[in-house]
Structures are given as structure tokens and as C-alpha cells.
Amino acid sequence: MANAPEFDVAYVSKLARLNLTDDETRLFQTQLADVLKYAEKLREVDVGSVGAAAHGVPMFNVFREDEPCDWFTAEEALSNAPHKANQLFIVTKVVE
């Protein structure tokens, strides 16, 4: 399991697309290093013959008929948009 020095909040915040202030970066580095240290106890567990559980109640391949039904109108879907025009979401420019 990872030791605290391998855990780099500044790097992870870039992966998460989440800017942090310098103070937050320093604080989280210490606080989350404590959490990771606490969680090191998971190393003790023998998990050799165990499958990984994604859910407490195993369910797989839930199918239903693919039937069309009424859904949001464009106005409803756009009702909370921070920036919209011509029935479209306006986004920050992606390509030059």
C-alpha cells in the first residue's frame, strides 16, 4: 500500500480537475496521509481466495425492453444550464 510520500495531493487534484489553494493542498496532504496510514491495516487481511465485491447484493446483467417513452423536453433539460442559447448548452471553447 502507498506510503505517504507517494501520495501527492497537488498531482491528484490535477487528475480530479479540481483546483486547490496552497493552504488546502498542504492541509489535505496531512489529513489524508493520516487516513491512508489508518487504512494500512487493510494490508493485514488475507484476501487470496476472495473475489472483489462491487455491491453488497450481487446483481448482474439487468435487462429490460428498449422502449421509447416521454422524457424531458429541451426546455426542461436546459432549465438549470448556467449558459444556454438556441436550445443548446453553451460550453467553454474546446478547440482553437
- Is 94 a binding residue for another protein by CB under 8 A? The answer is yes
**Given 16, 74, 87, 88, the residue binding another protein (CB under 8 A):** 16
- Is 47 a binding residue for another protein by CB under 8 A? The answer is yes
Residue 1 · residue 43 · CB < 8 Å = yes
- Is 91 a binding residue for another protein by CB under 8 A? The answer is yes
Count of residues of this chain found to bind another protein when the rule CB under 8 A is applied: 50
Rounded to 10 degrees, the C-alpha dihedral 63/64/66/68 comes to -140
The residues, ordered by sequence, that sit 6+ positions from 43 with a Cβ below 8 Å of its Cβ are: 1
- Is 74 a binding residue for another protein by CB under 8 A? The answer is no
* Strand-strand pairing, 88-89 and 84-85: antiparallel
Handedness of CA 22, 25, 30, 31 (dihedral sign): positive
Tell me which residues touch another protein (CB under 8 A).
1-2, 7, 9, 12-13, 15-21, 24, 28, 31-32, 34-35, 38-39, 41-43, 45, 47, 50-57, 59, 62, 64, 72, 76-77, 79-83, 89, 91-94
